[in-house]
Amino acid sequence: MTTPKTVAFSKHSTNLFFHILTQCNLTCRHCYINPEQHGKQILPAATATAWLSQFAAKSRQTNVILLGGEPTLHPDLPLIIKHARDIGFGSITVDTNGYLFHDVLSKVDPQEVDFFSFSLDGATRKTNDLIRGEGVFDACIAGIERTISKGFCASLIYTVSRFNFHELENMVPLVKELGIHRFFIQVIGLRGKAARTDACAPDSEILPVSRAEWLETIPRVAREVARLGITATYPKVFLDLAEPFECAGLVAENYFIFPNGRVYRCPLCEDFAVHSLEFRDHQLIQTARLNEWDLFQLNIAEGCVMNKLIQPQNLRYADDGMPEYKIGCCLLKEEISEDAAAENN
């Protein structure tokens, strides 16, 4: 089996978040996919492989994350995976909702896929299925079990909102029982469906948790998971005013690629036509200014510019008008491994 590698905000690696289609069999309440902005087509395998080849020069330092929609709905996903492996990318991950269509597990092997990464948004059937749809909890658990039984590594992503925050602690025994290899805690982002008022109405509570709740709970749960020998990763989100701030759009190499050819450097920009790159005739080219690149240059006291523009409710101000803290780049991750958790005991 290939050695798993971390996908995180790094100045020394490139991450390709490659949406090979936007279709999905589910209709999650917080889905971030925006077909009006990102297209509805299934990217032909020949196009997907041509676009991947654009990053071949730095392939060993590049992590590829194949997503959708639901990427296993793409009938040629195995072909795309094998092509990515032939190019020599550092790691290949497939993000899935667990349904694993087209019998994908029997068409690729553990030498070709470093991780299948599953999304579960509740430790119970009730909470997960209220967010992701009826029957999804059982389907996802079954998908994880099949994946691990075939010798693949599995990650689990838990997107925290007010709706499922109370069940995060219960994920600790669940990830252990399932044999998960990496656990990612994500913060709900207000984009796609989650940015629309109907999905964010107070009764739905598909909203971010407060700073106090985040700081009190997230690092502690991540440490508990790490003590089980499972690497746990979560976004830093809140920075003290004295802490250094960096925008990944300026200092890191992340590419969020969509089937209509748009390529963003920041996921928070994805609801808007401000992408700084795009594929034309299979070549990656820069788009005309103004675009997201111009936003990255703005140096503001609140830290992340896009957070201030689209999620200002995450900020708090003192009486003198200054922010009480900064919001870090959403790509800035904290990672806790077993050793680090033991040292903190």
Name the site residues for ligand SF4 (rule: CB under 6 A).
24, 26-28, 31, 33, 68-70, 97, 247-249, 266, 268, 296, 304-307, 329-331
Alpha helices by DSSP H, 165-247:
171-178, 211-227
> Least CB distance from residue 278 to ligand SF4, whole Å?
18
Measured CA distances, 115 to 63, 148, 184, 312 (Å) = 11, 10, 13, 34
Nearer residue to ligand SF4 within complex by CB, 62 or 314: 314
Tokens of 164: 């499922």
Nearer to ligand SF4, 109 or 246 (CB): 246
Q: Taking a C-beta distance cutoff of 8 angstroms, is the pair 93, 64 a contact? A: yes
Close Cβ partners of 254 (under 8 Å, ≥ 6 residues apart): 9, 14, 15, 17, 248, 265, 266, 331
| Residue with Cβ nearer ligand SF4 (172 or 307) | 307
Smallest distance, Å, CB 96 to ligand SF4?
A: 8
Q: What angle do CA 221, 226, 229 make, to 5 degrees?
A: 145
- Cβ at position 227, least distance to ligand SF4 in Å: 29
Block residue for tokens 């748009």: 262
Closest distance to ligand SF4 from the beta carbon of 229 (Å): 28
Structure tokens at 327: 């919001």
> Of the two residues 153 and 330, which places its CB atom closer to ligand SF4 in the complex?
330
> Largest Cα–Cα distance in the chain?
61
Q: Whole-number minimum distance, CB 264 to ligand SF4, in Å?
A: 9
Rg (the chain; Cα; Å): 19
| 92/295 with CB nearer ligand SF4 | 295
Residue 131 or 178 with smaller CB distance to ligand SF4: 131
Cβ nearer to ligand SF4, comparing 64 with 274: 274
> What's the min distance (Å) between Cβ of 98 and ligand SF4?
9
Half-sphere exposure of 302 (CA within 13 A, CB side): 18
Shortest Å, Cβ 111 to ligand SF4? 27
For the CA atoms of 41, 47, 49, 53, the dihedral, rounded to the nearest 10 degrees, stands at -130
Specify the residue, 63 or 341, whose C-beta has the smaller distance to ligand SF4.
63
Q: By the 8 A CB rule, do 199 and 132 touch?
A: no
Cα-based angle 50, 51, 53 (whole degrees, multiple of 5):
65
Minimum Å gap between C-beta 67 and ligand SF4 is 8
Is residue 97 helix, strand or coil?
coil
